[in-house]
Amino acid sequence: MRLHEKVALITGAGNGIGKASAILFASEGADVAVVDLDQEAALSTVEMIRKEGGKALAIRADVSNAIDCQRMIEETVTRFARLDILFNNAGIMHHEDGGAMDTSESIFDLTMNVNVKSIFLGCKYGIPVMRRTGGGSIINTASFVSRMGAATPQLAYTASKGAVLAMTRELATIHARENIRVNALCPGPLKTDLLMNFLNTEAKKQRRLVHIPMGRFGEAKEMAYAALYLASDESSYTTGTEFLVDGGITSAYVTPE
């Protein structure tokens, strides 16, 4: 098993990438703390893991809140004694997020709090635990839009994911000698509730699909397998990367530096 005797905490694990990753990580031997704002969704993921013989803990937390983030780390360590993998995956893509002129300040602030501040807080409380136990792997969910503009305006989301990349690079540099690896998973457009609720018309979906060389939306499980590599010891020399899993969209539109 690729994650035998490891402990993973995954935020936003009630749905989408987080749920698929929690189930996959558990099947590969990890004990998993399933964190989500939606308690019922977190419990559902935990039940699926336990039915397959895995070990999991459901934690309700608002990842934009410092007290909740500190508590989710503490509850994980209390239950499983250590923390080897911190997957900062929780995020939002608000339907009122648009261009600079029509996105409200409140939506911008909400998006930055959930998508960026949550990673700062997760690392703030998670890294000290990893230091004590000899290191670990931190995975931050960014997006292909951190490398290119989005065809359908979503300025707050795009800005937040750019910030995720910048934070990932600095964290990776600072903590490399402590055996703490930090990488960004950059999914392309996915067939998940998060994106499908944003692309809520067929015209919006087609506007996004036309840019994807593979001609389809990705699946959450495909991102989970990418995260599994970053979480496992197989990626022991991998840190500070922008791990693009995007159906070729970035290669088609971004000129290499």
Beta-carbon contacts of residue 217 (< 8 Å; ≥ 6 apart): 189, 190, 191, 195, 208, 209, 247
Burial class (CB in 10 A: 0-12, 13-18, 19+), 251: exposed
Catalytic annotation, pick one of 125, 157, 229, 237: 157
Q: Is 237 a catalytic residue?
A: no
93 vs 245: CA distance, rounded Å: 19
Query: Is-contact 243 184, C-beta < 8 A?
Result: yes
Query: Is-contact 56 18, C-beta < 8 A?
Result: no
Nearest alpha-carbon partner for 183 in 129, 133, 123: 123
**Cα distances (angstroms) measured from residue 238 to each of 48, 98, 145:** 31, 35, 22
Over its C-alpha atoms, the chain yields an Rg (Å, rounded) of 17
60 vs 38: CA distance, rounded Å: 7
Greatest extent of the chain over all pairs of C-alpha atoms, in Å = 51
Nearest alpha-carbon partner for 33 in 102, 67, 84: 84
Residues with a catalytic annotation lie at 157
